[in-house]
């Protein structure tokens, strides 16, 4: 799509060479902004969806309500929320459990989780979500808020994911909405 600035057109500066230089500057901008603007709009949309799943969690006095959405190539592959399938299941776990672990789309997927994936859990027989995400080979994680020290003293989910080369994006302006269904807990 070529866009002619009317002011520029009026000045007569739109010719083959002006167009080339316009295009060059537009391209260098697009490397940074339109594509990432598109990505960040998609990130917000999917996080809001994850927040909606978090609202469905059966309430608990001993665990957070979290929602998760797994997306690849713009398509939602799976969703999950805390305590969806049993009393202990975590949102990311519930979403991952619905997919074949060998699903090739996971290699290009993003998992949206309203809360930082856990790095240790009370149910010791179950692996932490951080380990599950790494095992699934998901390269990108988007979260809205970091796990507070309510139930575990030091969650290192984000650090561990990054150490293993996973891109972690935080959307702090959606943290309030992501925390809203957890306000009965000490945050
Ligand atoms: Zn977890």
- Report CA(66)–ligand 1 centroid distance (Å): 9
For CA atoms 78, 44, 143, 89, give the dihedral sign: negative
106, 75, 93: which is closest to 157 by C-alpha? 93
Q: What pLDDT band is residue 34 in, cutting at 50, 70 and 90?
A: low
Computed over every residue of the chain, the mean pLDDT equals 86
Q: Could you tell me the pTM of the whole model?
A: 0.81
Question: Going from the N-terminus, what domains does the chain have, and what CATH number goes with each?
Answer: 36-182 (3.40.140.10)
Is pLDDT above 90 for 39? yes
Query: Average pLDDT, stretch 56-68?
Result: 96
The CB density around residue 152, as the number of other CB atoms within 10 Å, is 16
Question: pLDDT at position 9, please?
Answer: 43
Instruction: Please list all protein residues whose beta carbon sits less than 5 angstroms from ligand 1, which is an ion.
Output: 90, 118, 129
* Active-site hit among 84, 92, 93, 147: 92
Q: What is the Å distance from ligand 1's center to 91 Cα?
A: 7
Catalytic residue flag (residue 92): yes
- Burial (CB < 10 A; 0-12, 13-18, 19+), residue 44, is middle
Pairwise CA distance, residues 112 & 116, whole Å: 10
Among the ranges given (19-33, 77-91, 92-106, 148-162), the one the predictor scored with the smallest mean pLDDT: 19-33
CA dist list (Å): 70 to 33, 40, 66: 24, 16, 14
Enclosing H/E stretch for 79? strand 75-81
């Amino acid at each position: 799509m070529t866009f002619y600035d009317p002011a520029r057109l009026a000045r007569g500066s739109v010719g083959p060479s002006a167009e080339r230089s316009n295009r060059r500057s537009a391209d260098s901008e697009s490397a940074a902004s339109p594509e990432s603007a598109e990505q960040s709009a998609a990130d917000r949309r999917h996080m809001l969806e994850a927040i909606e799943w978090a609202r469905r969690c059966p309430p608990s006095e001993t665990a957070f309500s979290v929602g998760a959405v797994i997306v690849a190539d713009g398509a939602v592959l799976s969703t999950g929320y805390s305590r969806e399938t049993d009393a202990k299941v975590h949102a990311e776990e519930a979403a991952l459990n619905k997919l074949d672990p060998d699903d090739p789309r996971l290699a290009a997927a993003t998992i949206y989780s309203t809360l930082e994936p856990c790095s240790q859990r009370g149910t010791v027989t179950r692996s932490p979500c951080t380990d599950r995400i790494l095992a699934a080979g998901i390269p990108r994680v988007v979260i809205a808020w970091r796990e507070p020290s309510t139930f575990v003293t030091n969650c290192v989910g984000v650090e561990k994911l990054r150490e293993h080369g996973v891109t972690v994006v935080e959307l702090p302006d959606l943290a309030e909405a992501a925390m809203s269904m957890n306000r009965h807990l000490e945050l």
